[in-house]
Amino acid sequence: MGKDVLTGTYFLTGNEACAAGALAAGCRFFAGYPITPSSEIAERMSIRLPQVGGVYIQMEDEIASMAAILGASWAGAKSMTATSGPGISLMLENIGLGVMTETPCVVVNVMRGGPSTGLPTLVGQADVMQARWGSHGDYEIIALSPSSPQEAFDYTIRAFNLAETWRVPVILLMDEVVGHMRERVVIPEKKDIKVANRRGPSEPPGKFKIFKSKKDLIPEMPVAGQGYAVHVTGLTHDERGYPAIEWEAQEKLVSRLVQKIRLNSDKIAAWEETGVEGAEIVLVSYGISTRICRAVREMAREKGLNLGLLRLEVIWPFPEKRVRELAGRIKAFLTVEINYGQIALEVERCAAGKCITRLVGHGGGTVHDPKKVFEAVEEIAS
Amino acid sequence: MIEPQTLDHPKDLLLRKERIPHIWCPGCGLGSVLSALMDALGSSGLDLKKVAVVSGIGCTGRAAGYLNLDGFHTTHGRAIPYATGLKLANPDLTVIVFSGDGDLAAIGGNHLIHAARRNVDIKVICVNNFNYGMTGGQGGPTTPRLARTTTTGYGNPERPFNLIHLIAACGAPYVARWTSAHPHYMKIAMGEMLKKDGFSFLEVIAPCPTNFGRRNKMREIKLLQRFLEQAVLESQPDIAKADIELDSPILCGKFVDLERPSYLTALREVISAKVKVYDFRGDGRVPLEEAPVKPAAAKAPGKPAEVPAERPIIQRPVQIKLAGLGGQGIGLCGLIMGRAAAIFDHNQAVYTQEYSPEARGGASASSIIIASDKIHAPYVTEPDIMVVMAQGAYNKYQKDVRPGSRLIIDKDLVRPKDLPDSVQVQAIPATRLAEEIGQKVVANIVILGFFTALVPHISLTAMQKALKGSIPKGTEELNLRAFETGYDYGKKMQEEEAV
């Protein structure tokens, strides 16, 4: 080994850092289809994976890419795909298959402006609700949002670890700016990188039921070729994995898929608070918008205004409990995002009328002008 | 009295008995196809623990669930890419795709042709019953012309796929066709596929009496009878004659059997020698040689190099914008500045490129923000310094030149006009100097040297180190000379100004 973690200090784009993070996390299979602004991830993986004995394959489309990473995961691989815009729309059906069959994998969505072909080369943050509910049916998922190339590296590792731990496709919601900007990225030594692996079966084939969960609601995962004769289907299934087309089976399975994330959301959700204690107004943001909000906080401080920042590291599951708590104490939440209100609605829901909630949003193509955000803050403050 | 004895059927080993009875209709051909596959697997000598079966959706799709093997019942049409992932992640597996004509040739048609082209080592058994059986007997991509289905009530006007011709044209090394009335030949074909390294395709024509047969006056056993009567068995059948009409003969046999490197074999042939890794698999279980530890990396791994003594301290973020035409090396120039500041000066630096479709050929720009403390907003909005290398770029980005800023230009190529108040213009004949050194492509490095001499925000040491690490091998001497030329020009200019 040795070539999978290229320890050192680099000046990388978010996309390059994401690829480096995937390799460090143990990803050895990448299937993808080129699309701006995510293509550099595929380009980098195509060079790097063969160097560590892994496989890069360019599929015929995004649907195939998503199917391939699910297949690879069931063959024991840590697998990933990366896409943007229309590509993520195409992947959704198979993301649902990944949820239903509890298949660990990482899907990177470098968000651009939409709908449709929209703004291929420019930023957007409007796939947040799609990450949550894009596939049909009822489910819970995990999504993270880095705000710098360093975080693109760190969060990609985190995404793999969450996927392996909770057996769910994890979505890394980057955005075009983070994907393309370059900054210093420190890749630590291999021994300092925490890597989680899925839990294999603790019993031999025979009595072992492949979708029977333990107390934590996560079943152990045998893979193809181990002699477990796994039966994996997107149909509603019983603990053996066999189709069971009846409401009782649906209730048992789907409630577990939902609860394994909901009941553990304290362990999965993650956010960063800056100056929230004692603040009257709290900005809520994620991804590149976080950095704009930090600039706005400094502008506020210069004017003697105490402005808090709640930054979502993990977007889904949403830090519902914390937002509810804060809503009872503050005057207003101001959600800053590059869309017309996706997380803003979630904030509004959790605030439940206990404080003012506002969106500072626009349709994409550029990040927020910190001055405009500050004007919105001043308006509420006065 | 003799006790009745129940004997286990030899094939039971391969079946999930608890899932029997199956859901297939009386007279359906799928039982025969599955049975032939079990026979072929049983006599293949393969370790059955390493056999995986993948299917899409529909009647045929259920087969994966009846076999007591690793089985994957995926989304409609996506069995082939799913199988591709399985095979490439663990090449020890024998991966069989067992699915229907609608699944593989309609919704999954794109995957089918690409997998055949790519020659991924998967074995595809396409059971063709001319319609969508489970969904209620609708027409599909293989429904013969004039045939009646629930969606072609007046007779099918479309020409169906000749799958044999199609897959052979894509380059698949093994292509065969039989009907479910030919269990022996099916078994032989399946056995050959299991041994083949590469994409192999078997089309099995099978009756769907409930839907297709009923609507085309071939109820119950009649459809199967027709297959038996009308099948033409040839040792070297002609691909072009493999079309299926409602009443035509059905040409059967082995159409293609040749050697072609499979995807993984080709991957090894093309890549191995270049990366010195001789096996590839997505699950990462490839033994690799320990990479030699470089002395420098061993000394201070993960830690940046020493902070240079002349590290510039930058209180307020400095915004720099570089503009030029595609091919002038504006991007590289910015990259070197960013690396110098972020890695060697231990400051913060954010680098972005102006990135729009027309920027690839025409005017393009890159931007760097440098500060000693954190940089929040990553966009350059009011450049403190602009570097412009072409008139076209000047015209495009002139609006960004703000009062009181510094403008660095190539003297011969840029004529600044309509300058705002108190802009300090600093000019160097960079392209001309580069030509004198030997190549005009290093004009950007001449400007970089000039910039380093005049602008205090990036140290000389950092810039030199970043330059060395960013240029192609073999061009060091040229680039260093270009850098020095620009730097000396800048220093001399400063001295003259001081006098």
- B81/A52 Cβ within 8 A: no
B361 band by pLDDT with thresholds 50, 70 and 90: low
- What CA–CA distance (Å, rounded) separates A248 from A252? 6
- What CA–CA distance (Å, rounded) separates A8 from B104? 47
Nearest to A75 by CA among B489, B262, B432, B89: B89
In chain B, residues with a C-beta closer than 8 Å to the C-beta of A295 are: 376-377
In chain A, residues with a C-beta closer than 8 Å to the C-beta of B82 are: 67-68, 70-71
In chain B, residues with a C-beta closer than 8 Å to the C-beta of A55 are: 88-89, 267, 280-282
**3-state percent helix, strand, coil for chain A, nearest multiple of 5:** 40, 25, 40
Residues in Cβ contact with B127 at an 8 Å cutoff, skipping those fewer than 6 apart: B29, B30, B33, B60, B98, B99, B100, B101, B180, B204, B206
Q: What is the DSSP string of B172-237?
A: -SEEEEEETT-HHHHHHHHHHHHH-SS-EEEEEE---IIIIIHHTT-TTTHHHHHHHHHEEE-SS-
In chain A, residues with a C-beta closer than 8 Å to the C-beta of B84 are: 31, 57, 59, 64, 67-68, 71
Nearest to B83 by CA among B106, B49, B112, B40: B112
Pairing state between β B51-55 and B70-73:
parallel
Q: Examine the pLDDT at B234 and tell me if it is beyond 50.
A: yes
- Which of A2, A226, A298 comes nearest B290 by C-beta? A2
Q: Examine the pLDDT at B67 and tell me if it is beyond 60.
A: yes
Pairing state between β A182-187 and A8-13:
antiparallel
| Nearest residue on chain B to A74, alpha-carbon basis | B86
- Tens-level pLDDT at each residue, chain A (382 residues): 468 999 999 999 999 999 999 999 999 999 999 999 999 999 999 999 999 999 999 999 999 999 999 999 999 999 999 999 999 999 999 999 999 999 999 999 999 999 999 999 999 999 999 999 999 999 999 999 999 999 999 999 999 999 999 999 999 999 999 999 999 999 999 999 999 999 999 999 988 999 999 888 999 999 999 999 999 999 999 999 999 999 999 999 999 999 999 999 999 999 999 999 999 999 999 999 999 999 999 999 999 999 999 999 999 999 999 999 999 999 999 999 999 999 999 999 999 999 999 999 999 999 999 999 999 999 999 8
Q: Examine the pLDDT at B454 and tell me if it is beyond 90.
A: yes
Helices (H) and strands (E) in chain A, counts: 13, 16
- What CA–CA distance (Å, rounded) separates B225 from A222? 44
CB-defined contacts A:B, below 8 A: 258
List, for residues B199-209, the tens digit of each pLDDT value. 999 999 999 99
Share of chain A above pLDDT 90, in %: 98
Nearest to B381 by CA among B407, B400, B353: B400
Rg (Cα) of chain A, in Å, rounded? 21
In chain B, residues with a C-beta closer than 8 Å to the C-beta of A67 are: 74-75, 78, 81-82, 84-85, 111
- A31/B81 Cβ within 8 A: yes
Query: Is there a contact between B79 and B46 (Cβ–Cβ < 8 Å)?
Result: no
- B304/A67 Cβ within 8 A: no
- A93/B89 Cβ within 8 A: no
Mean pLDDT of chain B: 92
- What CA–CA distance (Å, rounded) separates B492 from B498? 10
**CA end-to-end span of chain B:** 127
**pLDDT score, position B298:** 42
List, for residues A292-349, the tens digit of each pLDDT value. 999 999 999 999 999 999 999 999 999 999 999 999 999 999 999 999 999 999 999 9
- Which of A55, A228, A234 comes nearest B88 by C-beta? A55
**pLDDT score, position A1:** 47
How close, in Å, is residue A143 to chain B by CA atoms? 23
**pLDDT score, position B360:** 58
Give per-residue burial for B423-448: e unless 16+ CB within 10 Å, then b: eeebbbbbbebbeebeebbbbbbbbb
- A292/B376 Cβ within 8 A: yes
Model pTM score: 0.95
- What CA–CA distance (Å, rounded) separates B414 from B408? 10
Residues in Cβ contact with B406 at an 8 Å cutoff, skipping those fewer than 6 apart: B384, B385, B386, B423, B424, B426, B454, B455
Query: In this structure, how many other beta carbons lie within 10 angstroms of the beta carbon of residue B101?
Result: 29
How close, in Å, is residue B75 to chain A by CA atoms? 7
- A291/B376 Cβ within 8 A: yes
List, for residues B283-338, the tens digit of each pLDDT value. 999 988 765 555 444 444 445 567 777 889 999 999 999 999 988 999 999 999 99
- What CA–CA distance (Å, rounded) separates B71 from B65? 6
**pLDDT score, position B4:** 67
Residues in Cβ contact with B17 at an 8 Å cutoff, skipping those fewer than 6 apart: none
| Nearest residue on chain A to B288, alpha-carbon basis | A1
In chain A, residues with a C-beta closer than 8 Å to the C-beta of B263 are: 57
- Which of A1, A64, A295 comes nearest B290 by C-beta? A1
**pLDDT score, position B307:** 77
In chain B, residues with a C-beta closer than 8 Å to the C-beta of A79 are: 85, 89, 282
In chain A, residues with a C-beta closer than 8 Å to the C-beta of B377 are: 291-292, 295, 367, 370
Higher pLDDT, B299 or B480: B480
- A298/B73 Cβ within 8 A: no
Task: Return the residue in B50, B84, B276 with the most chain A beta carbons within 10 A, the one to mutate for interface testing.
Answer: B84
